Amino acid sequence: MRDVFIVGVGMTEFGELWEKALRELITEAGLEAVQDAGVRGPDIDAMYVASASAGRLLGQQQLGVLALDEAGLAGHHVPATRIEAGDASGAAALRSAALAVASGAHDVVVAGGVEKMTDVLEDDATRALASSADMEWEGFFGATLPALYAMMARSHAAEHGTTRDQLAHVAVKNHEHGADNPDAAFPFTTSLESVKGSPPVSDPIRMFDCASPVDGAAALVLADRDTAEQLGGPRVQITATAQASDALALHRRDAITELASSQAAAEEAFAETDHGPEDVDLAELHDVYTIAELISLESLGFYEPGMAATATVKGRTTHGGDLVVNPSGGLKARGHALGATGLAQAAEVAAQIRRDAGERQVEDAQVGLTQAVAGTGGTSIVHVLEGGGEL
Amino acid sequence: MRDVFIVGVGMTEFGELWEKALRELITEAGLEAVQDAGVRGPDIDAMYVASASAGRLLGQQQLGVLALDEAGLAGHHVPATRIEAGDASGAAALRSAALAVASGAHDVVVAGGVEKMTDVLEDDATRALASSADMEWEGFFGATLPALYAMMARSHAAEHGTTRDQLAHVAVKNHEHGADNPDAAFPFTTSLESVKGSPPVSDPIRMFDCASPVDGAAALVLADRDTAEQLGGPRVQITATAQASDALALHRRDAITELASSQAAAEEAFAETDHGPEDVDLAELHDVYTIAELISLESLGFYEPGMAATATVKGRTTHGGDLVVNPSGGLKARGHALGATGLAQAAEVAAQIRRDAGERQVEDAQVGLTQAVAGTGGTSIVHVLEGGGEL
């Protein structure tokens, strides 16, 4: 398997982008990535495009071809495939693209992701999110994602004594990070009181514990080593890509206070590199709810079970701590544009490693990790990114 | 890249399967394929699962994980990914699985596909099918797939003199084949008069020119050469896998009397093997409408433009002719279970090469080709299958 490099990064702002169509968003991110890489359209050998809900909400399938077509590249007839893995769709597209380069099948591959979630009926968006859970065992009975995560939070609290205050600290920390991110949908700070006083959604989860679905797109250009060296720009190496599954429905799992799929993916990813969790300088994690960041930190091996909350409160997961978790603001402050999220995570880590992160730059960022989760953990995808020369 | 073999094949019947849930269908096909291969569940390294419309029609995403979970394999945490490429989703899953084995990433991979299309509102199914076209340029204005294919048929008639009678011959031939297929949804013969007298859908396309959306699932187990040799059973080699794209909307293409994506995919596929179209003994093609089979035969290089209709009428595309086209009955008689179709095509070719096709066995079947098309040709995927020893 060949080495794989991120040679170009592109992102739209995240937010309520009513004036931009799905195809405009993916094209904007894709063109930015292609320009950043210094490649031309005809250099692209294949595209993988992620979207979780476009088929359902917009009636549009074949998103890969749509993106290729909109970029004016349909005449090149290169393969363009849509990848879907619920909330983890963007990371799944990145992984497919990375494997396509690693295998030698293609030299230059674009991984893109896009979602339009705001200009649909609220109930439709909620159901689209819930479709990443088990529809027959959970969704049919009215369980939405916050309800399922609330059960995880209560179980975590019963086992480890996790408090309402500790959950709020995650949101406050991620908004502090996101306030410095010009692409973030919610670039402002908040307070413990504000989070704890926000309207209840599904006890103990309150509105400001939740990441909000937004519109947005992100794209990365990947290339093999020879091509990356020819391009000569800054590059970031993908040193591990790992994906793991678990039962879709919570009741079919051994435990709901951990994410077994994230644990399995992280173990595989670290085995692929010569690093352990202690070597990671920054991580973009799936903080779709505040409890999710704590469980993720524990499942990925950064903290022992039950220790992530204290670490968060003590400031160990922000600048100057053990590692910076969600320097972009995470799903919470950047916003969660499902198909784009996994790629936005990788774009943030790449920017950090390239020292392009401006106000939110993580000091001495060498090794970064991304973790995407679909639904309540049916799928987890972990990537490890590192400097690959010319930085 | 390593050689890839189909070591196991499984299929449900196709049809109106109201009594079976999506998860039951995919499990039935998957278990049959796994038993046929002689592998055990824990031997499976990864799964790729195709479904075009489950997210839209059933509110269920993460189909890959659902299939893994339902098979009792969630505890193994192997990656399971859903692939979507409209009507070509099954072929896209097969291609992803084949590349995963070829790359060395995995040794044993299951490619599965499933669709439930009959127990939803008819209008929902029509819209789900149309979502493979360009929603903003075509679907929004009311264009459905038969309407778009009708334009292709009229253009083909204007250019090549294709007649109403010739179109009907495609349906009659495929029903003759399908009558011998126990898994077919419509296993009966029909007549030119019956096809030509069926209710108009979108002139010149009539009801019996159309493939009907049905329920069904299909699965294949793929393996590398070492594993295939250890298993020791009959095996079929995938000697080429090629995917190509074209503009989604008809008006953005150079011509609508051909499928440029199929042409590009076939050229690439034949270049990967040492075969040309003349070496192909049987082909499972995307006869979603009768005109589609004719255009496909020409675009794939089996006949010169405008010559496929005469060849069909003369019996050159059935047993004893140049090649047997859609020996299974094709989408027309077997039925079109979108996510399953591309895999059912490969299952049919594998069965033919293994001499397992019973009444519909193609004499001396050595080289087979499958072609899947999404929508009106935004995506085409071509596979070439050949005997791989132990037959």
Q: What is this model's ipTM?
A: 0.90
Kindly state whether residue B391 falls inside one of the protein's structural domains. Answer: no
Residues B163 and B257 in one domain: yes
Bridge partners of B282, per DSSP, are B324, B368
What's the CA gap between B304 and B290, in Å, rounded? 18
What are B103-120's pLDDT values in tens digits? 999 999 999 999 998 877
Looking at residue B56, its pLDDT comes to 65
pLDDT level of residue A230 (50, 70, 90 thresholds): very high
DSSP letter at B12 equals P
Q: Which of the residue ranges B11-15, B133-137, B206-210, B242-246 would you say has the lowest mean pLDDT? A: B133-137
- Give pLDDT, residue A390: 47
Shared domain for B268 and B357, answered yes or no, is: yes
Q: How far is A61 from chain B (nearest CA, A)?
A: 5
Mean pLDDT calculated for residue range B2-11: 96
pLDDT digits (tens, 9 = 90+) for B342-380: 999 999 999 999 999 999 999 999 999 999 999 999 999
Residue pair B66/A248 in contact by the 8 Å Cβ criterion:
yes
pLDDT at B183: 95
Mean pLDDT for A95-99 is 95
- Residue B55 above 70 pLDDT? no
Decide if pLDDT at A317 tops 80.
yes
Same domain membership, residue A16 and residue A141: no
- Cα A183 from Cα A187, distance rounded (Å): 8
Cα B55–chain centre separation: 20
pLDDT value for B111: 97
Identify whether residues B145 and B225 lie together within a single domain.
no
| Same structural domain, A252 and A226 | no
Query: Can you give the length of chain A in residues?
Result: 391
CATH number reported for the structural domain that contains residue A58 in this entry? 3.40.47.10
pLDDT above 60 for A389: no
**Residues A47 and A189 reside in one and the same domain:** no
Tokens of B18: 């109201």
Per-residue confidence (pLDDT) for residue B352, from 0 to 100: 97
Is A18 within 8 Å of A118 (Cβ atoms)?
yes
User: Hey, is the C-beta of B55 within 8 angstroms of any chain A C-beta?
Assistant: yes
Predicted local confidence at residue B390, as pLDDT: 47
- Is residue A168's pLDDT more than 50? yes
- Number of domain units in chain A: 2
For chain B positions 135-194, those within 8 Å of chain A (CB to CB) are 135-136, 139
A364-369, Cβ contacts within 8 angstroms, sequence gap of 24 or more: A364/A281, A365/A281, A365/A282, A365/A324, A366/A281, A367/A275, A367/A279, A367/A280, A367/A281, A368/A280, A368/A281, A368/A282, A368/A283, A368/A284, A369/A266, A369/A269, A369/A280, A369/A282, A369/A283, A369/A284, A369/A300
The percentage of residues in chain B with a pLDDT greater than 90, rounded to a whole number, is: 82
* In contact, B31 and B71? CB cutoff 8 Å: yes
Q: Does the pLDDT of residue A243 top 90, yes or no?
A: yes
Q: Establish if B389 belongs to a structural domain.
A: no
Of A131, A264, A379, which has the smallest distance from its Cβ to B60's Cβ? Answer: A131
Are the C-beta atoms of B332 and B312 separated by less than 8 Å? no
pLDDT at B33 over 50: yes
CA distances from B307 to A92, B31, B198, B249 (A): 43, 42, 26, 26
Report whether pLDDT(B340) > 80: yes
**Radius of gyration over every alpha carbon of chain B, rounded to an integer in angstroms:** 19
- Average pLDDT estimate for B82-110: 94
Judge if B247 and B146 occupy the same domain: yes
> Is 80 exceeded by the pLDDT of residue B81?
yes
Q: What does the pLDDT average to over A128-138?
A: 84
| Element (DSSP H or E) covering residue B354 | none
Return the pLDDT at A129.
78
Residues of A in contact with B62 (CB under 8 A): 84-86, 131-132, 248, 374-375, 378-379
- Sign of the Cα torsion B373, B374, B380, B381 reads negative
Which domain covers residue A34, as residue numbers? 4-121+214-236
Our CA-based measurement puts residue A343 at a distance from the nearest CA of chain B, in whole angstroms, of 17
User: Residue B50 pLDDT more than 60?
Assistant: yes
Query: Residue range A47-72: average pLDDT?
Result: 83
Q: Give the model's pLDDT for residue B297.
A: 98
Which residues in chain A touch residue B79, judged by CB atoms under 8 angstroms apart? 242-245, 379
Give the residue from B22, B49, B77 with the most A CB atoms within 10 Å of its CB, the best one to mutate: B77
The answer as to whether B372 is a domain residue is yes
Terminal Cα distance for chain A, rounded: 24
Q: Specify the pLDDT at position B59.
A: 73
Q: Are residues B10 and B57 in the same domain?
A: yes
Same domain (yes/no): A95, A243: no
Q: Of residues B149 and B86, which shows the higher confidence score? A: B149
Whether residue A127 is contained in a domain is answered as no
Tell me: pLDDT of B69 over 80.
yes
Give the C-alpha separation, A349 to A356, whole Å. 10
**A59 CB-contact burial (10 Å; exposed 0-12 / middle 13-18 / buried 19+):** middle
Q: Is residue A141 part of a domain?
A: yes
Q: Give yes or no: residues A56 and A204 share one domain.
A: no
> A206 to each of A190, A202, A329, how far by Cα in Å?
14, 7, 18
Q: In this structure, is residue A390 part of a structural domain?
A: no
Distance from CA of A199 to the nearest CA of B (A): 27
Query: Model confidence over B169-190: pLDDT tens digits?
Result: 999 999 999 999 999 999 999 9
Same domain, A368 and A251: yes
**Does residue B128 lie within any of the structural domains?**
no
What six digits make up the tokens of A25?
A: 């968003």
- List the beta strands (DSSP E) in chain B: 4-11, 46-50, 80-84, 108-115, 200-202, 205-206, 216-224, 236-245, 282-284, 324-325, 367-374, 379-387
| Residue A304 shares a structural domain with residue A184 | yes
Q: Are A149 and A292 in contact (CB under 8 A)?
A: yes
Planar angle of CA A202, A140, B70, nearest 5 degrees: 110
* B336 assigned to some structural domain: yes
Arithmetic mean of pLDDT, B339-343:
97
Q: What is the average pLDDT across A324-351?
A: 97
B51 touches chain A (CB under 8 A): no
Residue B139 has pLDDT above 50, yes or no: yes
| Confidence band, pLDDT 50/70/90 cuts, at residue A240 | very high
DSSP element (H, E) containing B26: helix B22-37
Chain A residues 256-285 with CB within 8 Å of chain B: 260-261, 264-265
pLDDT of residue B124: 74
Q: Is B164 or B124 the better-scoring residue by pLDDT?
A: B164
How many Cα atoms within 13 Å fall on the side-chain side of residue B300?
Answer: 37
